[in-house]
Structure 1
Amino acid sequence: MRTEDVLAAIATGLWRWDNACGTVTLDGEAARLLGLPAEPVVLPEAAARARFHPVDWNEINGIVNLAVAEGTLAEARLRIMDEDGRVLRTVRSRSKPLENRTADGRVDYELVGTIQEIAEPQPGTTAAHTPITGDWRRSREAFLLDAGRALAEARSTAEVLRVAASLSMPGFSPDGLAVFGAEGDRLSVIGHHGHAPGDEGPFAEMALDTDYPAAEAVRTGRAIYLPTPEEYRRRFPVTWPLAQGFGRASWAFLPLIVAGRTLGAWMAAFKHPVTFSPDERSVLTTVARMLAQALQRAGVAESERELTTGLQRSMMPQLGPEIPGMAIAARYVPTGGGLQVGGDWYDMIPLPSGRFALVIGDVQGHDVRAAGLMGQLRIAVRAYASEGHRPDAVLSRASRFLAGLCSAPAPDEEPGAASGSDADFGSPRFATCLYVECDPRTGTLEFARAGHPDPVVRMADGTVLMRPTAGGLPLGIVPDTDYPTTRFALEPGETMMLCTDGLIETGGHDLDTGWARLRAILEGDAHDARARAGAGAGESGGAEDNHLERLADLLVQAVHGPSSHHTTGPLADRREDDIAVVLLCRESPSCGCGTAGAHPVRPARRTMLTVAQAEPARIAGARRQVRELLHDWADAEQVDSAVLMVSEMVTNVLVHTDGDALLVAEATGELGGRRLRVEVADASDELPHKRHPGEMASSGRGVLLMEMLADAWGVDPRGAGKSIWFELYERSKPDSDADRESPRPPD
């Protein structure tokens, strides 16, 4: 008897579906089952497709892909329809899919198999393979969407494993899960659920050639389904005794594959029997793919975080040994995205003279190249400073170094080749920098600034001033730029802050509003410290050393929320710019660093500023300094008067002499009864004299203003030049006109 006759006797036909040619070849029995005349026929794909129920047809592609991935047969239940749309019969198809890839990368399939008529189950009975119903499909789709979302949000391997342990599959939830990781020729358990502690011991480390389902799944890249204990014992007799003790009834071992690379295997074990129908295998395979992708993403993220931490630790130096009489604190917070490294840095450099230098800078950009340039520039600045160069010489050499570094061609780039983007190796980059040489014995600070934000000083009583310093272009723009220096002293109890623009401008702020925000934080911290000291909770001992650390955290938290010395993770992802901040406090014998403890006499506020002939624009800075010095003065009109007189005095020096103007302002006394004394010195011997300008005159009113507005004023000759000064005495409300016409005589 022929094979065709035997198959026909059991209502089984043969078919061949060629997706590339778009044809379906049927023998006589297969044609009859599809509702056609019982004779061999070759049909177009569209004609054959019209014989199947649309819902069942939509499942065919997924079943074929699953069978190709697993190397198994494609099994499906299909309802055959007549021309009027009625169901004629139900058939089961079992086919071997053959995958063919065309030259253009398209994947075609050829199915060779059988079609067999099966009886529909009666109501109230069950069948081994239940047709795909709408409710089951909706449950499966909802489960896969939820699982995919949860796995996509997992940021670490531990989170991925927690999500995998919580999966509840529709209709056949496993009670035991394990994830195996493959590395080299070893397989290890990296996470499990549904087992007692220590159960993973025998499986913790095994060779890939072990006769174990997970090892075979990794070796072959094929899923292994074991629906019964007998099947497990038959296929893996060596390791069956290890699995027998768990009392499971069915097992699925699926390889975890991403982009052709096998990461490991996933085991799903069931206490109840599971037949692993095509639908169930499809769900398991989809979960395994999502799990593999989530594990790969988590591994990459963890590698990036590890690399980020290593880069930060190697590029961000320690602040070094303690300095007698001074306290230092610093923070670095990277921007979000990528490796979370950028171009901001700080450094503390011991100098041959016994002094030390503080450096803070910002290389343009937030990418890996900015971090690389930052590392090289930081080393160069440290080398120049260690050679004993002055601050201006250090920055001049650093500018030439950066310009030469950015103009060099890439190793694989021809000289003169055009850059494709700003991130290319040879594209120009610049850097801002502030270099401070500090004398811890006297508190003298000497600044050189290259396009960087000015330093901020908080005085012993909590008053915060931004100290203007002379500066030049950012490093790397013009190689031979000169950098003038500025010198002033940090008084006992005062704290200086250096920062990059990320601390100022983050959150939509510009330089002005950003400084105002920081000033409020610094002043509020000083007020809180004085309140603690007044309440008897003053800081002492080790607590004093921690004050700057708390202030550094407070500054960063005000911009981004809670932080650490080096912040990474979800918080860092929201950074708009890198942040570097350095705090330097000159300790006072009578109070903790920056706490301005309980003084019997309120410490004096004092500021000093030089306005050069070539920098008349700094007159505005002088006016701002006076306003900041008198931020809590009782009489606002007196503040306006002081600002007006300072502007007039400094302008007269620049207009009527050939030298620079040195401004010194000092406020002493208790609140409500303070004295402001302002001196403007120059190198000219010519004394001011009273003039009588006309209504349209643009000058000549300086002395008249002093007589009208100052409580006291005068001129003190000096060895080379003179000093013009005035004093204002704080009052809670303006004096009467009579009082203003009779100023107090000079002391």
Structure 2
Amino acid sequence: MRTEDVLAAIATGLWRWDNASGTVTLDGEAARLLGLPAEEVHLPEVAVRSRFHPVDWNEINGIVQLAVAEGTLAEALLRVMDEDGRVLRTVRSRSKPLENRTADGRTDYQLVGTLQEIAAPQPGTTAAHTAITGDWRRSREAFLLDAGRALAEARSTAEVLRVAASLSMPGFTPDGLAVFGVAGDRLSVIGHHGHNPGDEGPFTEMLLETDYPAAEVVRTGRALYLPSPEEYKRRFPAAWPLARRFARASWAFLPLIVAGRTMGAWMAAFKHPVSFSPDERSVLTTVARMLAQALQRAGVAESERELTTGLQRAMMPTLGPEIPGMTVAARYVPTGGGLQVGGDWYDMIPLPGGDRFALVIGDVQGHDVRAAGLMGQLRIAVRAYASEGHRPDAVLSRASRFLAGLTDSYEEDEEDEDVGPRFATCLYVECDPETGMLEVARAGHPDPVVRMTDGTVLMRPTAGGLPLGIVADTDYPTTRFTLEPGETMMLCTDGLIETGGHDLDTGWARLRAILETGTHESESLEKLADLLVSAVHGPSSHHTTGPLADRREDDIALVLLCREGPGCGCGAGLAHPARPVRRTMLTVAQAEPERIAGARQQVRQLLHDWADEDQVDSAVLMVSEMVTNVLMHTDGDALLVAEAAGEHGTRRLRVEVADGSDELPHKRHPGEMASSGRGVLLMEMLADRWGVDPRGEGKSIWFELHEQSKADPENLPDTP
């Protein structure tokens, strides 16, 4: 039997509301419930809206937004109207919002769910009249199934109480709810619905010996049903003056019991008389049992979150004092699930002498308590080594030995468990605020990223070694470059790059687009940090917990460093200079020929908006040839410096490759099968200008390209 046939047999229809297209799809049963022919139909949103009471429809958006934010189901009671404005019936809608974030940052969603008619009592009647019908029994079963699912999804006490307040019981929905908790010998209200603020005052800090229904329920562990005001006054005369002012007609007080222990009481109050038939009592008892379990789970989860949030905040450092000429912003977002702690960290360390500081970012393998413990110890060790005045390479070498010793100790302590050695990636940057000079040592970590004054974003390749802890004695070569005024450097862990199913390449492309956009949209470094985190995970704070954090795939640590100047976005002015200059520098060592590919990529990123792609290809080809020649024909390293200056469309690119050899290049005439000897010929054909400048030690080979429109015939190279 088809699912549609089963749902139709129990008078339940399916509907789908597409917020992006503004259309609603109804199956035959859903169409019938809305007073339409009983057949599948696709309608515009306005046509479906006209079938519902306008007050009910206006509440849907708020309910849906809350469900999207909490990742729960959206439930609403909707009155179906006929063409004359009369209420045909009341239906309950339960739907799951499916969120979709568009390329322009807008959030659309689809609602996929069910419509089911409910039997609502008319004024002056009792719910007992409807309780005997088969429709009510089917509605009761569907209600309990939905209520159990909704309460099971609640993650906090506040969310449990919100779900409880939204439950629409078939035929006898209460208009007032209260949940009482027990602390020692006292009873207090921990949540209520259908009352005004402050109404809970007389019921707060109530002794368990008080002559009040909820207190008796907690003492005895048995439910109390008061079907009329007369019964309430007879059973609890002392408490009746407190209850009389709410003008209710019936009350049910039920114990909240978990594992045989009464943890509180639940009150459901009704403005219409309720006889509390066996069916109605069965529903209330089942809801109370589910509510108690949901509150217990939420309490445990909240205790864990409070514990781990405190642990997390204790481990994460605060940024140091303000640095003249520089601004720093940082974010840490833990992974979801479990204890929400992990191995990512960042730190800012004042160095001896007081004129320099270090930025550190790292990621210990794993997302558990052990990873968090190792992270805390490693962070303290790195801070100690840096504070002793060691250079960046020495700091990482010592940290690697320290972590290797720690993981060996863990293995000895846990030899019976299947645990292996842990490693950590790390990036250590020593900063000179006065000159902007940065000295970088890297241990298996993603390279730093620099956003230039005009918004151009480059990944700066740096020399590096193995992650910390893999080999105790490891060397970590350093790389130096200058952060120019107005430039911003980003350091991050791989959680920011790879979250959302991205790999390093696609994740980096996404971050690059955000950084380029952030040049114009962010007024401060703090806002840029928020923009980067929210673009990956949604709105976040410095330390994010709760439902959003539960969906995170990996920890995130992010540090932004801005050297104040035009274009920085750190409060020193956002205007770009009249003639913006882009500049990058890269060393390719004899032992690292694979970095030639990085040099080519640097030039492409520098010229990402160059007018003529053929000129970009020419520049990349000449750079590759120049750097390769240095590695092949000299014994030293190649230093590449590339600079693009001028206004867009008329810029000049100048690239220099320096080496320590005094031998000057000369023109050759290679044969067709020759594998080398074409460098000078290529520069003569492709460059607008080129030359060789001897230096005190070695030489510098350079070329220049002048940006021209592709349609300009002067852009074509001269033919012999």
Alignment of 1:648-663 (within 5 A): 648-663=625-640
- Deviation by residue 1:164-207 (Cα, 9 ceiling, x = unmatched): 33444445444543211011222111223444554433321122
- Which residue pairs with 2:422 in the alignment? 429
Shift of 1:364: 1.7
- Give the distance between the partners of 1:387 and 1:369, measured in 2 at CA: 27
Larger radius of gyration: 1
Does structure 1 residue 255 correspond to structure 2 residue 233? no
- Give the distance between the partners of 2:499 and 2:572, measured in 1 at CA: 27
- Which residue pairs with 1:292 in the alignment? 292
Give me the CA root mean square deviation: 3.1
- Which residue pairs with 2:527 in the alignment? 550
Structure 2 counterpart SS, 1:284:
helix
Alignment of 1:118-517 (within 5 A): 134-226=134-226, 236=236, 239=239, 242-243=242-243, 250-270=250-270, 276-353=276-353, 354-409=355-410, 415=413, 417-420=415-418, 426-517=419-510
Task: Output the amino acid matched with 1:491.
Answer: E
Decide whether the 8 Å contact of 1:525 with 1:551 is kept in 2.
Answer: yes
Decide whether the 8 Å contact of 1:454 with 1:466 is kept in 2.
Answer: yes
Structure 1: 5+ residue stretches without partners: 1-125, 421-425, 530-543, 743-747
Which stretch shifts more, 619-628 or 698-707?
Answer: 698-707
Decide whether the 8 Å contact of 1:462 with 1:596 is kept in 2.
Answer: no
**Structure 1 residues 730 and 201, CA, compared in 2 at 3 Å: closer, same or farther?**
closer
Decide whether the 8 Å contact of 2:453 with 2:576 is kept in 1.
Answer: no
Structure 1 counterpart SS, 2:703:
strand
Shift of 1:575: 2.4
**Structure 1 residues 415 and 163, CA, compared in 2 at 3 Å: closer, same or farther?**
closer
Task: Output the amino acid matched with 1:488.
Answer: F
Decide whether the 8 Å contact of 1:435 with 1:448 is kept in 2.
Answer: yes
Which stretch shifts more, 248-257 or 177-186?
Answer: 248-257
- Give the distance between the partners of 2:168 and 2:577, measured in 1 at CA: 71
Shift of 1:716: 1.9
- Give the distance between the partners of 1:689 and 1:740, measured in 2 at CA: 21
Alignment of 1:584-595 (within 5 A): 584-588=561-565, 593=570
Shift of 1:562: 2.8
Decide whether the 8 Å contact of 1:391 with 1:485 is kept in 2.
Answer: yes
Does structure 1 residue 630 correspond to structure 2 residue 607? yes
- Deviation by residue 1:278-336 (Cα, 9 ceiling, x = unmatched): 33332221111011112223323333333343233223322222111112222222332
Does structure 1 residue 682 correspond to structure 2 residue 659? yes
- Deviation by residue 1:620-644 (Cα, 9 ceiling, x = unmatched): 1111111212222223222222222
Structure 2 counterpart SS, 1:160:
helix
Structure 2 counterpart SS, 1:480:
coil
Which stretch shifts more, 268-277 or 473-482?
Answer: 268-277
**Structure 1 residues 474 and 228, CA, compared in 2 at 3 Å: closer, same or farther?**
same
Q: Say which of 513, 522, 529 aligns to 2:515.
A: 522
**Structure 1 residues 379 and 261, CA, compared in 2 at 3 Å: closer, same or farther?**
farther
- Give the distance between the partners of 1:314 and 1:737, measured in 2 at CA: 60
Structure 2 counterpart SS, 1:638:
helix
- Give the distance between the partners of 2:267 and 2:665, measured in 1 at CA: 94
Does structure 1 residue 620 correspond to structure 2 residue 597? yes
Task: Output the amino acid matched with 2:415.
Answer: A
Shift of 1:480: 1.4
- Give the distance between the partners of 1:169 and 1:601, measured in 2 at CA: 69
Which stretch shifts more, 619-628 or 243-252?
Answer: 243-252
Shift of 1:656: 1.4
Shift of 1:523: 2.4
Task: Output the amino acid matched with 2:506.
Answer: T
**Structure 1 residues 380 and 273, CA, compared in 2 at 3 Å: closer, same or farther?**
same
- Give the distance between the partners of 2:356 and 2:637, measured in 1 at CA: 29
Alignment of 1:80-99 (within 5 A): none
Which stretch shifts more, 500-509 or 605-614?
Answer: 500-509
Does structure 1 residue 730 correspond to structure 2 residue 720? no
Q: TM-score, normalised by structure 1?
A: 0.73
Which stretch shifts more, 439-448 or 305-314?
Answer: 305-314
Does structure 1 residue 693 correspond to structure 2 residue 670? yes
Does structure 1 residue 740 correspond to structure 2 residue 718? yes
- Give the distance between the partners of 2:191 and 2:414, measured in 1 at CA: 54
Decide whether the 8 Å contact of 1:180 with 1:266 is kept in 2.
Answer: yes
Task: Output the amino acid matched with 1:560.
Answer: H
**Structure 1 residues 295 and 325, CA, compared in 2 at 3 Å: closer, same or farther?**
same
Task: Output the amino acid matched with 1:316.
Answer: M
Decide whether the 8 Å contact of 2:131 with 2:137 is kept in 1.
Answer: no
Shift of 1:237: 5.7
- Give the distance between the partners of 1:238 and 1:607, measured in 2 at CA: 82
- Which residue pairs with 1:538 in the alignment? none
- Give the distance between the partners of 1:337 and 1:523, measured in 2 at CA: 32
How many residues were matched structurally? 593
- Give the distance between the partners of 1:631 and 1:142, measured in 2 at CA: 58
Task: Output the amino acid matched with 1:428.
Answer: P
Q: Say which of 702, 710, 715 aligns to 2:692.
A: 715
- Which residue pairs with 2:554 in the alignment? 577
Structure 2 counterpart SS, 1:179:
strand
Task: Output the amino acid matched with 2:143.
Answer: F
Decide whether the 8 Å contact of 1:469 with 1:485 is kept in 2.
Answer: yes
- Deviation by residue 1:376-421 (Cα, 9 ceiling, x = unmatched): 22222222212211111111122222222222248xxx7572323x
- Give the distance between the partners of 1:374 and 1:262, measured in 2 at CA: 41
- Which residue pairs with 1:104 in the alignment? none
Structure 2: 5+ residue stretches without partners: 1-125
Structure 1 counterpart SS, 2:179:
strand
Decide whether the 8 Å contact of 1:495 with 1:594 is kept in 2.
Answer: no
- Give the distance between the partners of 1:355 and 1:737, measured in 2 at CA: 47
Structure 1 counterpart SS, 2:642:
strand
Decide whether the 8 Å contact of 1:460 with 1:594 is kept in 2.
Answer: no
Shift of 1:458: 1.5
**Structure 1 residues 153 and 716, CA, compared in 2 at 3 Å: closer, same or farther?**
same
Decide whether the 8 Å contact of 1:129 with 1:277 is kept in 2.
Answer: no
**Structure 1 residues 359 and 131, CA, compared in 2 at 3 Å: closer, same or farther?**
closer
Structure 2 counterpart SS, 1:291:
helix
**Structure 1 residues 682 and 303, CA, compared in 2 at 3 Å: closer, same or farther?**
same
- Give the distance between the partners of 2:270 and 2:314, measured in 1 at CA: 49
- Give the distance between the partners of 2:175 and 2:568, measured in 1 at CA: 64
Task: Output the amino acid matched with 2:416.
Answer: A
